[in-house]
Structures are given as C-alpha cells and as structure tokens.
Amino acid sequence: MPDHPIDDLFGDAPAALPLGAQAMLLRGFALAQAEALVQGVRQVALHAPWRRMQTPGGKAMSVAMTGCGPLSWVSDRQGYRYADRDPLTGLPWPAMPAAFARLARAAAQQAGFARFAPDACLVNRYEPGARMSLHQDRDERDLGAPIVSVSLGLPAVFLWGGATRGERALRVPLRHGDVVVWGGVDRLRFHGVLPVAPGEHPATGSFRINLTLRKAL
DNA sequence: TAGTACCG
DNA sequence: GGCA
C-alpha cells in the first residue's frame, strides 16, 4: 500500500495535486498552449542550438539543453551558473517566447505564487534513455520565486524528493501538458527524472521536452 | 553527485 | 536500490 496519499499517480487524478505544502502538480494545465510552446522551442533552438552540457566533474549529461530569456543556466567544468550569453555561440540567449512567460505566470498563480516573472527558461530535451539524477535548483539569486516545470511530448516519471538527497523520492508520472510548480518551503526539494522510455508523441516525435522557468536574478 | 560504476 |  502507498505510504503517501499520492504515491501512485498512474491512474486518473484531479487536475491539481499537492506535492507538498507549496508544491503542486497541475495536470494538463499547458495542454491548450502546447502547440505554441513546442513551436517556441523550435524557434529558440534555431538560435541557441541543442547541446549536452558537462557536469563540473566533466561527465556529459544525457539531456540536451538550450535556453532563452535574459539569462539561462549553464554547466561546464567551471561549475553551474547563469549566463547572459550562450557559450556555444557567444550571442545573447534568444528572447523568451511570450507564450512561455504567460503560461508560467498563470501556472504559478494557480499554485499560489502571485506575480511570478521568469527571466530564465532552461529547455531540456530528453531522447529515450535520457535522465536527470536527483538534484536541487539552487543557482538562482532569489530563492523566493518558484520554479515552473512544463512537460511536453513523451511521458516521464518525475522523482520528487525531500530536503536532503537521502529522503525517499516520490515517483510522479508526468504527461504531455502537465505543469509542476514548487516554491516557498519546497523550493529546494531534490528532484529528477527517470530514464525516458522509447516512444512517439504527435507533438514532439521521439522526444520529451521540458521547460523550466525560473527567476534567476 | 543536473554523473557513473559497482555491488547485492 | 544503495553505495563510493
């Protein structure tokens, strides 16, 4: 039996599910905007190409990334940071598509965070087998703003952990159009993504796309 | 340690 | 899944 009320979310569920005191899964929240969001991702990737970043330890991540907005998150042997230019091209990151910021603000408000104004969007592209190990989003200056994470295309299992790496992580299935918002006391929760299973989705083909919107400054 | 290897 |  589950030792958490939402330990198994593979079945049908309400449109909004609490993952913590200040963390919420908004099922299908981005569905109506999904086409515009995917088109925005294509536009961003034209100017800031997909690349697999290196961890500070020198290992390549399995997830291909790009970004948009005044700032975007980067990782290399030097460490994690936000940069105002794409290290690959030397150019400023592409502007954040209006649909991204609009969706993020609406999702944040729905989850109880008013006036969320993201200035950074990290775009993650998962091919089958790609994963993200348990980590914290802690490179933003102002940890008062929430994180808004939008799932598009292939489904994935989201790992929703605790304040320490050791705490058992909840397994949350995420599908096309789902949005997860976390902030406040849950802002530094560990989280990750299990390896994505092979498949095809009408919106994204053989990929899962994840938009992660933050206030970096 | 936003990763992988190896062990049970 | 847990450990280094």
A169: the nucleotide nearest its CA (via C1') is C1
- The string of pLDDT tens digits covering residues A162-213 is 999 999 999 999 999 999 999 999 999 999 999 999 999 999 999 999 999 9
Q: Give the CA-to-C1' distance from A80 to B2 in angstroms.
A: 9
How far is it, in rounded angstroms, from Cα A206 to Cα A135? 25
- Whether residue A1 lies inside any domain: the answer is no
A171: the nucleotide nearest its CA (via C1') is C1
- Whether residue A102 lies inside any domain: the answer is yes
- Whether residue A187 lies inside any domain: the answer is yes
- Whether residue A30 lies inside any domain: the answer is yes
Asked whether residue A141's C-beta has any atom of DNA/RNA strand C within 7 A, the reply is: no
**Within 13 A of A156's CA, how many CA atoms are on the CB side?**
34
- Tally of domains in chain A: 1
Examine the pLDDT at A21 and tell me if it is beyond 60: yes
- Whether residue A97 lies inside any domain: the answer is yes
How far is it, in rounded angstroms, from Cα A121 to Cα A29? 18
Residue type, A46: L
- Whether residue A206 lies inside any domain: the answer is yes
- The string of pLDDT tens digits covering residues A105-160 is 999 999 999 999 999 999 999 999 999 999 999 999 999 999 999 999 999 999 99
Asked whether residue A63's C-beta has any atom of DNA/RNA strand B within 7 A, the reply is: yes
- Whether residue A203 lies inside any domain: the answer is yes
Q: Residue A60 sits in which domain range? A: 6-214
Looking up residue A168, the CATH number of its domain turns out to be 2.60.120.590
Mean pLDDT of chain A: 95
pLDDT-wise least confident of A12-16, A38-42, A123-127: A12-16
- The string of pLDDT tens digits covering residues A95-104 is 999 999 999 9
- Whether residue A119 lies inside any domain: the answer is yes
Q: Give the CA-to-C1' distance from A134 to C2 in angstroms.
A: 14
Contacts of A19 (CB under 8 A, 6+ apart): A6, A25, A160, A170, A172, A180, A182, A186
